[in-house]
Amino acid sequence: MAHIVDNIVQYIKNNVDVKNHSIGIILSSSYSDFLNYVEDKVQIPFSEIPNFKVLGKDAENNKLVFGKYKNKDVIISFGRLHYNYGYSCEDVANYIFILKELGCDKLVISASVGSLNKKIKVGDIVTATDHINLTGRNPLYHCEYNKYGNVFVDMQKPYNEQMIEVLTRTAKSEMGIKVKNGVLVEYNGPSVETISESKFCRVIGADFSAFHVCNEVIASKYCNLPVIMFALVTNFGSSYSLEKIKHEDVAYNRSCGLKYYLDLLKRLILNL
């Protein structure tokens, strides 16, 4: 009996001329403007894919987008599977495996993060070199899709060093921007961390926090899909923030940095 991943991949391949050696992009809904630059788009809503679980308030907008950015083939997962909407570890793992089986050989994960390091400011662009997974979850728990071998995956270098080097060099040489590296820490969300949790995360070595990235990365490592996290700092963590952390403020800060964030994303894709 075929696994759900194989069934979904076959359905998509029956409806889209999927290209091997594509760059996969997990694109947060906040960065939807990037879709305007993708040519020859074929879009498949998650809700139209048989057996693809669709949950949460953003479900009607979530979709896979196939196309080209200039000379690069891209497969974009617009919207991600949030645990707080009810998705399981298996759901997160499967959606990464689907990207891999559709022909992605590199994965760029977009995100918004909160700074836990005073040297990292709101408006900075950061990339993770390591992470601390405090979600209590692992996408390989009870993983039934064993195509990629033993789930005892080495996580010494979760983020691809070559992709990080390309991002850093591209930002400096083409835009005069310094991308800051650091350690990501992750909670389940959707609430932000308390002041004590924020201080604790800094003590254990974290530089910024986010939701939903770590488990996407673990699944990527299992299926040998090189991955980079590419994030915009939209707020300070609770222990550094002088005021309450409001979603409206995070959204405003993100909008202020959107143009150069997307500009660097486009340049990164061309240089990968």
Report the chain's C-alpha Rg in angstroms.
18
- Joined together, the tokens standing for residue 173 give 């040489």
252 has pLDDT over 60: no
Averaged pLDDT for residues 14-21: 91
What pLDDT is stored for residue 247 in this prediction?
66
19 has pLDDT over 60: yes
pLDDT in tens, 205-215: 999 999 889 99
DSSP symbol at 81: -
Averaged pLDDT for residues 220-224: 96
What pLDDT is stored for residue 201 in this prediction?
93
Q: Which of 89-93, 178-182, 206-210, 263-267 has the lowest mean pLDDT?
A: 89-93
**Mean predicted lDDT score pLDDT of the chain:** 90
* Nearest Cα to Cα of residue 102 among 230, 16, 189: 16
Residue located via tokens 């707080």: 84
DSSP 119-182: TS-TT-EEEEEEEEE-SS--TTTT----TT--S----SS-S-HHHHHHHHHHIIIII--PPEEE
Strand 22-27 relative to strand 104-115: parallel, antiparallel, unpaired?
Answer: parallel
**Is the peptide bond preceding residue 190 cis, with omega within 30 degrees of 0?**
yes
CB 231 within 8 A of CB 179: no
- Joined together, the tokens standing for residue 113 give 């993060």
What pLDDT is stored for residue 75 in this prediction?
97
* CA dist., res. 125 & res. 182, Å (int): 11
Q: Which of 73-87, 111-125, 169-183 has the lowest mean pLDDT?
A: 73-87
| CATH entry, 4-271, from 3.40.50.300, 3.40.50.1580, 3.40.50.1970, 3.40.50.850 | 3.40.50.1580
Q: How far, rounded to the nearest angstrom, does the alpha carbon of residue 265 sit from its chain's CA centroid? A: 13
Full-model pTM: 0.94
Q: Sketch the domain layout of the chain as residue ranges.
A: 4-271
Q: How many CB atoms lie within 10 A of CB 199?
A: 15
* CA dist., res. 219 & res. 96, Å (int): 6
